[in-house]
Structure 1
Amino acid sequence: MTLAYIYHSGFMLEGVSAILIFDFWRDADNGIVERTLSTTHKRVYFLASHFHQDHFNPEILNLPVPHGEKKVILSRDIYRRRRAGTEGVTAYLRRGESYRDDLITVHAFGSTDSGVSWAVHVEDKDIFHAGDLNNWHWADESTPQEIKKREGDFLAILNDIRKECMAFDLVMFPVDPRLGSDFARGARQWLQYIPTRYFAPMHFPPARERAMTFGPEAERMQTRFLYIQEEGEAIARF
């Protein structure tokens, strides 16, 4: 499988028979998504974790896959917020719900913000896209009580995930320097709780360079950190 970084929290994962596009906001400057969709004969899955405009672009409902097949799997809050209807949508999922077909299984876990996070089993690989699941503690600004509450909510969801999925081949997870001095706390806790083969940071523009400083720490925790240099690049093959 090949993982390409698109933009912000958007990634494209291409396998032998399927392509998964997570949290598409806009295409990379090199047009990797448009180019792939125009030529592929594979089944393309779009997944959007919640309604925020930096994670869901209704354009995905209209993007053509002229030689393949398209399926769209969305968090239920996108429908509740009237960001999309039922036309062109394969499934809406709430926390705890699943979608299955002959190529993939998708399970929706919780989030510490809007919507859900995604666990996907595809081509014998276990994949996780966090959406806006993170320990959003804002350590330099929040009170100790706020930090404790947010951390407790986050760790409860990690426990839910760990009960169902003991390890992942690939995880896409926020490493957002806006959080301040301890911006990688959520990512660190994820790796402490759940063994992860490849870890891709996201939700960091425009602070990419600082986000990448988490890499050496992640590698000391026995994971392969995927350093991102630019939009539209392939960052892993596994």
Structure 2
Amino acid sequence: MKITYIHHSSFVVELKNCILLFDYFQGNLPEFNNDKKLYVFSSHSHHDHFNKNIFKLKRIHPDVTYILSNDINATESKNIRLIDANEKLVIDNLEIETLQSSDLGVAFIVKIENKTIYHAGDLNWWHWEGENSPEENTYAENLFKNSIDKIKGINIDVAFLPLDSRQGNQYYLGFDYFMRNTNTKIAFPMHFWSNHSLVKTFKASNHALNYKDKILEINHNNEEFQL
């Protein structure tokens, strides 16, 4: 498996027979192998997770299928599939399951080629000190935990999880809860914009002590990882 970090929350996962692109909105995409089927996922319509330019990929790639959260303004067709939260969908050899986001849209669980891949989208323990009321923060926490508890204990090969410095001292909450409640082999932080140092800070903290070796550090856009 080759994984390329594009920017923010966007990753390319290249497997033996197919390529998965998650939450692209900007950045340089690698050259895709045209012999492999391309699946493009968008977890929701926020500008930092979706860009309609993804539809231009069908001009240069012979076989593209789009799997989009149904809050995105798109018309379902042969190559565009819309999906709601807490749904299951089988496309070709992909088994796709979604969870309800604690913000907007869905998180994806994708099973393909004997691998299980999780992309959180904006499903996270969002805690905004001083911006949200205690009641709003508790509501967001419960939404997040209710979704993650549905997959509690499952085996995940690769997970892409938010780690957002804008949350201040609460930046690690969602990442930590996920890692403690799933059997995840490898975790990639995301949603940190260009604050790459946050990953190192988190790995060195006591919060990540029990699973720090599972966290891969991202240092720059378009960094590649061979797993």
TM-score by length of 2: 0.91
- The equivalent of 1:61 in structure 2 is 55
Question: How many percent of aligned residue pairs carry the same amino acid?
Answer: 32
Contact 1:175–1:184 at 8 Å: present in 2 too?
Answer: yes
Query: Shift in Å at residue 116 of structure 1?
Result: 0.5
Task: Report the RMSD for the aligned CA atoms in angstroms.
Answer: 2.0
**1:129 matched to 2:119:** yes
Name the SS of the counterpart of 1:220 in structure 2.
coil
Distance 1:213 1:59 in 2: 34
Structure 2 unmatched runs, 5+: none
Question: After the TM superposition, which residues 169-208 of structure 1 pair with which residues of structure 2 at under 5 Å, given as runs?
Answer: 169-208=157-196
Contact 2:107–2:122 at 8 Å: present in 1 too?
Answer: yes
**1:157 matched to 2:147:** yes
- The equivalent of 1:51 in structure 2 is 45
Question: After the TM superposition, which residues 208-227 of structure 1 pair with which residues of structure 2 at under 5 Å, given as runs?
Answer: 208-216=196-204, 217-218=207-208, 220-221=210-211, 224-227=214-217
Contact 1:74–1:89 at 8 Å: present in 2 too?
Answer: no
Contact 2:203–2:212 at 8 Å: present in 1 too?
Answer: no
Query: How many residues are aligned here?
Result: 225
Contact 1:42–1:68 at 8 Å: present in 2 too?
Answer: no
Distance 1:151 1:67 in 2: 40
Contact 1:41–1:67 at 8 Å: present in 2 too?
Answer: no
Pick from 129, 135, 143: which aligns with 1:139? Answer: 129
Contact 2:124–2:162 at 8 Å: present in 1 too?
Answer: yes
Question: After the TM superposition, which residues 22-37 of structure 1 pair with which residues of structure 2 at under 5 Å, given as runs?
Answer: 22-28=22-28, 31-32=29-30, 35-36=31-32
Distance 1:138 1:103 in 2: 40
Query: Shift in Å at residue 220 of structure 1?
Result: 2.4
Residues 136-188 of structure 1 deviation map (CA, whole Å, 9 limit, x = unaligned): 012355443333222112111111222xx612111001000011112111101
Structure 1 unmatched runs, 5+: none
Contact 1:127–1:170 at 8 Å: present in 2 too?
Answer: yes
Q: Quickly say closer, same or farther: Cα 1:67–1:73, change in 2 above 3 A.
A: closer
